[in-house]
Amino acid sequence: MNDRHSPRQVIFAAATVLLVAVLAAAFLYPKADGSLVLLDAESGEEFSRYPVRYGDGFSIGFIHSVNKSPVTDYYEIRRDGIYVVKTVYYGFGAGVQTELEGGETLEYGDDGSMIVSGFNRKMDNLIYFVGTVSDHTLTVRRREISLRGLCGRNAMVRIVFEPGDAKATGK
């Protein structure tokens, strides 16, 4: 029995493995349309960036400082920027929406949440003040990032979309 493989078989096997790896990478990590960039709102220093595609969503979750219940704001990447699309919260308090505007809807979740959607509002200046008591969590492409851990307590974080080649730092 001969255990040796011909050079042609070895090259074919190596090419097959390489092709499978390239296809898997393209499927698992599709080319980004740009980057979601987190900046220090005061200095402009970049904290991190994450590759995103048009149509991708991301969210920021936190505990409301007044009513102490969870709030999650949902956004979508579009060709001309970041749009807020809905917010989910569990209790009323200062700074929580109490009235609907044109095109907005209110639904109640099975868990008792209030879901306001239909904003379709471009966010040219999206800034979060990272809390000292509770963290803010960015969820982008199924990855959760602690803004307190990344940016520090009391940081003013500006979130922008930069179209073009994405260079993820993912700090």
pLDDT band at 61 (very low <50, low <70, confident <90, very high): very high
Position 169 in a domain: no
Position 63 in a domain: yes
Position 129 in a domain: yes
pLDDT band at 6 (very low <50, low <70, confident <90, very high): confident
CA-nearest of 1, 4, 5 to 13 is 5
Position 115 in a domain: yes
pLDDT, tens digit (0-9, with 9 covering 90-100), for 123-141: 998 999 998 778 999 999 9
Whole-prediction pTM value? 0.76
For every residue of 99-143, DSSP letters joined together read S--TT-EEEE-TTS-EEEEEEEEE-SSEEEE--SSS-EEEEETTE
Question: Can you give the residue range of the structural domain that contains 95?
Answer: 34-163
Position 17 in a domain: no
Position 107 in a domain: yes
One-letter amino acid at 38 equals L
pLDDT, tens digit (0-9, with 9 covering 90-100), for 8-18: 876 776 767 77
Residue 119 pLDDT > 80: yes
Q: For Cα atoms 117, 75, 91, give the angle at the middle one, nearest 5 degrees.
A: 50
**Strongest mean pLDDT among 18-22, 146-150, 162-166:** 146-150
Position 121 in a domain: yes
Taking only Cα atoms into account, the Rg of the chain, rounded to an integer number of angstroms, comes to: 22
Q: How many domains are there within the chain?
A: 1
Q: Could you tell me which residue, 149 or 28, shows the higher pLDDT?
A: 149
Position 15 in a domain: no
